[in-house]
Amino acid sequence: MQKEIDGHYRFSVYSDATIIGSDDPNAPAWGPQPTVCSAFVRQSLVNAGITVDADKALPLPSSVTPTTPDGMYHYTEAERLAAAEALAAWLRNMARTPFTEINDEYWWTTSLGFGGGGALIGLAIGGPVGALLGAAAGAFVSLFVGPGDVVQAGTDTPNKIANQFANCCASDFCAIEANSSTAWREPGTGVALSPDDLMNHFDAPEQGGVYGYHEPLVYRTARFRRIYRWEPPAGPAPRTLSGRVEANGTPTEDARVEIPSLAVTVQSDSNGHFSFDNVPFGPVVVHASKTINSVFYEVDRCFEPRDPDLWQEIDCSTFLPLSVAPVLEVVLPISLPDPAFRRVTVTG
């Protein structure tokens, strides 16, 4: 379906994605439809008859209004202004020329006089270039700069570049006059989508979508656990450890369950059930985890065997038995991790 889109890249689609899918009479003949990368992906799916965001709650809540098209999202003016200011600041910094990059290929000449605070640079602007810049031939500009300082001699180029590009993205105002306009500082609201929106809002297969399973990557720093080296036992034979993973008292499917000392991992089934075979006789640490609605849950529990086929829960620090009766199947109640290991989102 993507072949049905004869498109050209239009920065303003990041502000108004509703214009994709229709031809722009002012666009090039080879690609009359305006688009950007994320809008192109969405339109390809829509052309195939797919509803991309039927479930507005998962993976993350969708910011929409009653008139927002499927797979597009509502951005407030405050959100758009924050993005525009970040973009303009980055462009201004990129457009500035560090003093260390000036060389003989520039249209100016430099003369250096070294003093206590830095170098005195004389920039002689003359000839046709000087006339084009509106300066009198032979005009002289002096700047005090230190090593690595930025040279901007009589030019507002960084601001002009930032203004023109920010206006182009905010409202499709890309003409040369846009370089002196700060209209982008009043961007209004927007209806668009970003690559992050595809990950955070498009439906996963379990919601009837096509975009794949999504959950945040959790990076865990090192933690210390008691690890045992298992050797062939002289006593009882290995046995099976079975149990159930629960979250808030409800059996939990597709939780990751592992015995770190044995380097073995299984997934819980639709009833939250899991099982490990051939677990050596002796104490064992079992870890379970799952991301639920973008929140990471986990638990560590420790057990040791009791005859004939029971398991006794024990304290993971002291390995002393807890005051609970041995059970045939253990329960792993996952919950939010210790505060030191929780995921933190910072905004603003």
- Residue 23, both tokens: 């031809």
- What span, in angstroms and rounded, lies between the C-alpha atoms of 174 and 163? 9
Q: What is the C-alpha separation between 164 and 143, in angstroms, rounded?
A: 27
Which residues, other chains included, contact 244 with Cβ-Cβ below 8 Å and sequence gap of 6+? 251, 268, 271, 272, 273, 274, 329, 330, 331, 332
pLDDT of residue 157: 85
CB 189 within 8 A of CB 89: no
Distance CA 312, CA 307 (A): 10
Rounded to whole angstroms, the Cα distance separating 67 from 293 reads 26
Q: What is d(CA 33, CA 40) in angstroms, rounded to the nearest whole number?
A: 10
pLDDT of the residue at 249: 92
Beta strand 284-292 pairing with 7-9: unpaired
Q: Give, for all 348 residues of the chain, the pLDDT tens digit.
A: 557 788 999 999 999 999 988 898 888 888 999 999 999 999 999 999 999 999 888 778 899 999 999 999 999 999 999 999 999 999 988 887 654 454 444 444 333 333 333 333 333 333 333 333 333 323 333 333 444 444 454 468 889 999 999 999 999 999 999 999 999 999 999 999 998 898 889 988 877 888 766 666 777 777 776 666 555 556 678 889 999 999 999 999 999 999 998 999 999 999 999 999 999 888 999 999 998 877 889 999 999 998 778 999 999 888 899 989 999 999 999 998 777 766 677 776
Domain boundaries, the chain: 2-91+163-207, 97-151, 239-341
Pairing of strands 284-292, 295-306: antiparallel
Give the pLDDT confidence score for residue 231 in this predicted structure: 59
pTM above 0.75, yes or no: no
Range 239-341 has CATH code 3.40.50.300 = no
